[in-house]
């Protein structure tokens, strides 16, 4: 059932068998496992507004832009356009090599293999409504359809997609009908208190509004509040940090842009790597270095996806803004001849964009999109309306290649407590962010290998990010964040190297567990939600017997 947390009496203490902090995909998946007759579960769903935070080091988006509270959590921010009016996310499991201890990657290795997680991946796939659990390239090959590149150096695979309302609506509706799970919202956990001997959690304090607080006492507690808030709450509570690891090894998935120009006589249309519908489900082909190549070269993992370059459209849009601004100020725009030329050259693209916006604002115009194929393209990758390009009569020949980079765990890239306070008087999170030399070197070499292989196959010429960057400064062509907050309560069998054990239990605390992206020892390169949900299902199955006693 859904409960307005503001109706809980100030100073009251609720009792439960399990208390889950957070109502995003991790918390919702955990609750789905614990929801059994006779089991009392209290879930604390924070307010939709973000508590904010601070960033130091290299440029990184505001923490308020990259996460959300409430039921569904960050799923409310997912922006992959799956169809007109339907948003979602990209899914794939981590690769087997991501679970391995790799000599070239310090602090690498999970405490279990990919095979341990596979049964939970299959169940997570269903919970995410992401289609069949099949991510091999062969799963999207059709008779007379586009085919993937085949090589001893590079391999191909798939991303699949699922709607955000699997979490923001379907799960919410299910919880509203539940007799065993009480979801309190808005309810922000502010502190975790332990028993006198410090070996177990005694209660969680929460606030529904400034000046209004209550507590929850339970048999087990699960932190599922995200890669930043899980670490922040442990730091605010001064627990789980005996070896100074809480908040350390923060990882994200930076993206670096390259440029591919197809050979004039190339037979490769790259259509396999477009967003396509296969068996009524959206898929995206991806390019990656083979695991054998990664091991031989000592490289971090990564993937490449391609999209038509939009230079002409973007220049036309910029020229339009410049001309309109100058007109408002009753002056001549800077470089008027060049601006006018850019505008004229991109008029068709601007027209299609305007058509899309009009159809979005006036549903009666939706059928008109069928008349112009370019107006039907989707913005599934956050790069503008380019998804579906392989169905156009005039195929693009110049592509942006987006290189998603795995980050190595680095204790100096971390979450700490900042100087600012949130509305409950708690210190906000502070992120120290940077792209390490190891990631930059690995990205350079990975792009060199891809360039050599694309040339050998006769596909085209790849200009690496280093070539595109002004003065070779990689930072100028890096998008630092995919909004994937990982690694801050990392998993390890030994308390000297991890915050939680292989079951997600905080070392030295008998009844406090953590789940979500914060427990990742390494990040791989795929969007983490499928793994987050699989880990939460695994934890829920582990806890179910204890909670049901």
450 or 324, greater pLDDT: 450
Q: Is the pLDDT of residue 361 over 80?
A: no
pLDDT at 358: 56
User: How much of the chain exceeds pLDDT 90, in percent?
Assistant: 72
Q: What is the mean pLDDT of residues 191-217?
A: 96
325 or 149, greater pLDDT: 149
Q: Is the pLDDT of residue 186 over 60?
A: yes
Residue 524 binned pLDDT confidence (cut-offs 50, 70, 90): very high
Mean pLDDT, the chain, integer: 89
* 275 close to 281: Cβ distance less than 8 angstroms: no
Helix (H, G, I), strand (E, B) or coil at 534: helix
What does the block give as tokens for 413?
A: 């890239």
pLDDT at 146: 84
Residue 385 binned pLDDT confidence (cut-offs 50, 70, 90): confident
CA–CA gap between residue 40 and residue 312 (Å, rounded): 58
Q: What is the mean pLDDT of residues 364-385?
A: 67
CA–CA gap between residue 267 and residue 395 (Å, rounded): 12
pLDDT at 347: 52
Q: Is the pLDDT of residue 354 over 80?
A: no
pLDDT at 392: 82
Residue 539 binned pLDDT confidence (cut-offs 50, 70, 90): very high
The phi, psi pair for 547, rounded to 5°, reads -70, -30
Q: Is the pLDDT of residue 232 over 50?
A: yes
* 369 close to 358: Cβ distance less than 8 angstroms: no
21 or 369, greater pLDDT: 21
The phi, psi pair for 69, rounded to 5°, reads -100, -160
CA–CA gap between residue 277 and residue 271 (Å, rounded): 12
- Could you give the residue range(s) of every CATH 3.50.50.60 domain in the chain? 2-310+383-547
466 or 475, greater pLDDT: 466
E strand residue ranges, 406-476:
414-421, 427-433, 460-463
Q: What DSSP string describes 493-514?
A: SSTTT-SB-TTSBBTT-SSEEE
CA–CA gap between residue 429 and residue 440 (Å, rounded): 26
Q: Is the pLDDT of residue 349 over 60?
A: no
* 287 close to 154: Cβ distance less than 8 angstroms: yes
Which range among 282-296, 342-356, 410-424, 461-475 shows the weakest confidence by mean pLDDT? 342-356
Residue 316 binned pLDDT confidence (cut-offs 50, 70, 90): very low
* 255 close to 546: Cβ distance less than 8 angstroms: no
pLDDT tens figures, 33-43: 999 988 999 99
Q: What DSSP string describes 342-379?
A: HHHHTHHHHHHHHHHHHHHH-GGGGGGGGG-GGGG-B-
Question: Which among 94, 142, 101, 138 has a CA at the least distance from the CA of 118?
Answer: 94
pLDDT at 368: 53
pLDDT at 377: 78
What does the block give as tokens for 523?
A: 């990040």
pLDDT at 144: 58
CA–CA gap between residue 272 and residue 149 (Å, rounded): 9
Q: Which of the following CATH numbers is that of domain 2-310+383-547: 3.40.50.720, 3.30.1490.20, 3.50.50.60, 3.30.70.20?
A: 3.50.50.60
Q: Is the pLDDT of residue 153 over 90?
A: yes
């Amino acid at each position: 059932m859904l409960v307005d947390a503001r109706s809980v009496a100030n100073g009251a203490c609720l009792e439960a068998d399990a208390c889950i902090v957070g109502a995003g995909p991790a918390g919702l998946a955990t609750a789905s496992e614990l929801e059994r007759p006779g089991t009392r579960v209290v879930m604390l769903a924070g307010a939709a507004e973000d508590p904010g935070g601070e960033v130091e080091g290299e440029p990184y988006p505001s923490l308020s832009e990259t996460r959300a509270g409430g039921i569904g959590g960050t799923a409310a921010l997912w922006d992959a356009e799956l169809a007109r009016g339907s948003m979602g996310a990209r899914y794939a499991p981590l690769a087997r090599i991501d679970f391995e201890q790799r000599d070239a990657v310090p602090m690498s290795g999970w405490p279990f293999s990919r095979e341990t997680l596979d049964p939970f991946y299959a169940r997570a796939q269903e919970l995410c409504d992401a289609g069949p659990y099949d991510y091999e390239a062969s799963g999207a090959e059709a008779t007379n359809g586009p085919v993937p590149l085949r090589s001893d150096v590079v391999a191909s695979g798939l991303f699949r997609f699922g709607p955000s309302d699997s979490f923001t609506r379907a799960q919410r509706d299910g919880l509203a009908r539940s007799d065993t799970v009480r979801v309190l919202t808005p309810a922000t956990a502010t502190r975790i208190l332990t028993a006198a001997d410090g070996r177990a959690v005694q209660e969680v304090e929460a606030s529904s509004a400034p000046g209004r607080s209550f507590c929850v006492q339970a048999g087990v507690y699960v932190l599922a509040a995200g890669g930043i808030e899980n670490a922040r709450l442990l730091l605010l509570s001064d627990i789980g940090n005996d070896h100074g690891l809480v908040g350390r090894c923060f990882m994200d998935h930076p993206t670096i842009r390259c440029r591919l120009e197809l050979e004039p006589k190339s037979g490769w249309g790259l259509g396999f790597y477009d967003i396509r519908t296969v068996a009524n489900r959206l898929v995206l082909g991806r390019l990656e270095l083979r695991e054998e190549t990664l091991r031989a070269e000592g490289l971090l993992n990564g993937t490449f996806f391609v999209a038509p370059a939009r230079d002409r459209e973007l220049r036309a849009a910029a020229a339009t803004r410049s001309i309109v601004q100058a007109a408002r100020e009753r002056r001549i725009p800077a470089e008027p001849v060049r601006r006018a030329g850019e505008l004229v050259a991109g008029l068709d693209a601007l027209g299609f964009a305007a058509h899309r916006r009009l159809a979005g604002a006036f549903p009666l115009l939706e059928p008109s999109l069928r008349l112009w194929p370019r107006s039907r393209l989707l913005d599934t990758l956050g790069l503008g309306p380019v998804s579906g390009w392989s169905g156009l009569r005039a195929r693009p020949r110049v592509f942006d290649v987006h290189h998603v980079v795995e980050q190595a765990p680095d204790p100096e890239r971390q979450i700490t407590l900042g100087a600012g306070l949130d509305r409950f008087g708690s210190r906000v999170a502070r992120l120290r962010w940077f792209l390490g030399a190891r990631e930059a070197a690995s990205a350079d070499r990975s792009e060199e290998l891809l360039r050599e292989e694309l040339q050998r196959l006769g596909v085209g010429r790849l200009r690496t990010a280093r070539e595109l960057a002004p003065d070779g400064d990689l930072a100028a062509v890096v998008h630092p964040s995919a909004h994937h907050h990982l690694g801050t309560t990392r998993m390890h069998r030994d308390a000297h190297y991890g915050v939680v054990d292989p079951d997600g239990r905080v070392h030295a605390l008998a009844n406090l567990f953590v789940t979500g992206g914060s427990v990742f020892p390494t990040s791989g390169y795929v969007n983490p939600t499928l793994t987050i949900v699989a880990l939460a299902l695994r934890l829920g199955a582990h806890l179910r017997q204890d909670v049901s006693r």
